[in-house]
Amino acid sequence: MGWDQLLYRDIGFLSAGVFARLEWPENVVDLCAVRRLGSKSSPHHSIRSASRLVREDRVGTSTTVTFPNWLQLWPAVIHAAEQLHSELASEENPAEALELWSRLVLDSRMKRVWVVLYKKKRNRHKAIEEFLHPACMTNASDAARKRRRALELREKGGPKTVSEADLLEAEAALLESLCDPPADPRWSEQDRAVQLFLRRAYEAALDHELEFLSDLEAKASKLQKVAKRLQSDAAILSSLGMEREARKLLRIASNCEDKAFNILPIQDIPSEQTDAPRFSLKTDDPWIITRRRGDLQLGTFVANLSVITGTLFGQALYGTLAIVANVRFNREDVTHRKVREMLR
């Protein structure tokens, strides 16, 4: 498998620990109104008309795809779309995957997304080579972003911000000393970021299972009860001289406690109130829903995608997220303002 394929499969390609360094929104997000997939379709953006552009001429397992003329402006997007299309048969629900692929690739509204992501800055009404939303896909780009942030913090002043700036500059220096993994020379850094954005949007569209805080708390509580019962049984076995068996139960109990801790999102507990570690594996999936109300699928999709735009392009890009959300859910009412309110 080539590095260009690995790039799509793992966001970790960006740079070591990039997600750990993001400034996340609130860890527990209150999202709003479940809407059934595919309801209230728009006639001029119908998925049926879009699907007619997909021609499948099967020779063994091969498939030929015809893309609309407007998409020919961005060959990197077409390349990413072709790779996604080649994987449709391996999805759990290929028919649903094809429908979502067709929306995100063939719907004409997506043209505005690619225009924004490839838009150049202007100087005296003339476009220059620098992108308005430059990609961050290499260690050098990540280091430059950190140095800019450090400079902003130093301008604010104060011991806390200066300390944070020192840390950012140390991380930047480390990144500058590292080499990037090999990348497909056909595509620029901006191309690769756009390709990865398409893949992550497609994956977020497919992964519409929702996680509720109440369900996670119930599961964690069961695990904690099992751990206590095992610890009690281990004490009994130990009193009977069965030390080996007691140690086995204690190991299982410890695993149950660890799993319970990692299930729950991290809580913002003041350090003076506890000596417990403040790390949980759940921190890389912060979109835990606290209330069973509102447009939950839409809110979760937008929240997930905002992390990707923030990582790849340095900001949420509310208008772009609104377009992709409308395309994914086949609707017209998601706006820049609505997305911004969701992410506050």
Establish if 277 belongs to a structural domain: no
3-state helix, strand, coil split of the chain in percent (to 5) is: 60, 5, 35
Tell me which of 202, 232, 267 is where a domain ends.
267
Q: Does any domain span residue 275?
A: no
One domain, residues 186 and 303: yes
Residue 38 lies in a domain: yes
Residue 228 token pair? 């206590």
Statement to judge: residues 316 and 301 lie in one domain: yes
Q: Check residue 27 and give its pLDDT.
A: 32
In a domain, 327, yes or no: yes
Give the tokens for residue 164.
Answer: 């944070």
159 alpha carbon, distance to own chain's centre: 33
pLDDT at res. 331: 93
Specify the number of domains making up the chain. 3
Residue (of 196, 142, 201) closest to 16 by Cα position: 142
Structural domain harbouring 225 = 214-267
Q: Is residue 25 part of a domain?
A: yes
Shared domain for 23 and 79, answered yes or no, is yes
CA distances from 168 to 15, 20, 283, 297 (A): 14, 13, 21, 35
Verify that 56 and 184 share a domain, yes or no.
yes
Looking at residue 262, its pLDDT comes to: 78
pTM over 0.75: no
Q: 145 and 221 share a domain?
A: no
Whether 185 and 219 share a structural domain: no
Q: Look at residue 280 and tell me if it is in a domain.
A: no
Does 122 share its domain with 250?
Answer: no
Residues 218 and 200 placed together within one structural domain of the fold? no
For the CA atoms of 22, 27, 33, 34, what is the dihedral angle to 10 degrees? 80
Residues 290, 193 share a domain: yes
Residues 188, 161 within the same domain = no
Assigned domain for 52 exists: yes
Residues 69 and 167 in one domain: no
| Token representation of residue 4 | 């260009």
pLDDT value for 61: 41
Q: What is the CA radius of gyration of the chain?
A: 24
Query: pLDDT truncated to tens, each residue of the chain (344 aa)?
Result: 443 333 333 333 333 333 333 333 333 333 332 222 333 344 344 444 444 445 443 333 445 788 999 999 999 999 999 999 999 999 989 999 999 999 999 999 999 999 999 999 988 777 788 999 999 999 999 999 999 999 999 998 888 889 999 999 999 999 999 999 999 999 999 999 999 999 999 999 987 666 667 777 788 889 999 999 999 999 999 999 999 999 999 999 999 998 888 777 655 444 444 444 444 434 344 456 655 555 778 888 898 899 999 999 999 999 999 999 999 999 999 999 999 998 88
Spatial distance between the Cα atoms of 118 and 138, rounded to a whole number of angstroms: 18
Together in a domain, 8 and 26: yes
**Structural domain includes residue 165:** yes
State residue 289's pLDDT score. Answer: 60
DSSP state of 34: -
Look up residue 49 and give its two tokens: 């008309």
For residue 135, CA distances in Å to 25, 50, 191, 284, 309 come to 21, 29, 8, 22, 9
Residues 237, 245 contacting (CB under 8 angstroms)? yes
The pairing of beta strand 288-289 with beta strand 126-131 = unpaired
What pLDDT does residue 194 have? 97
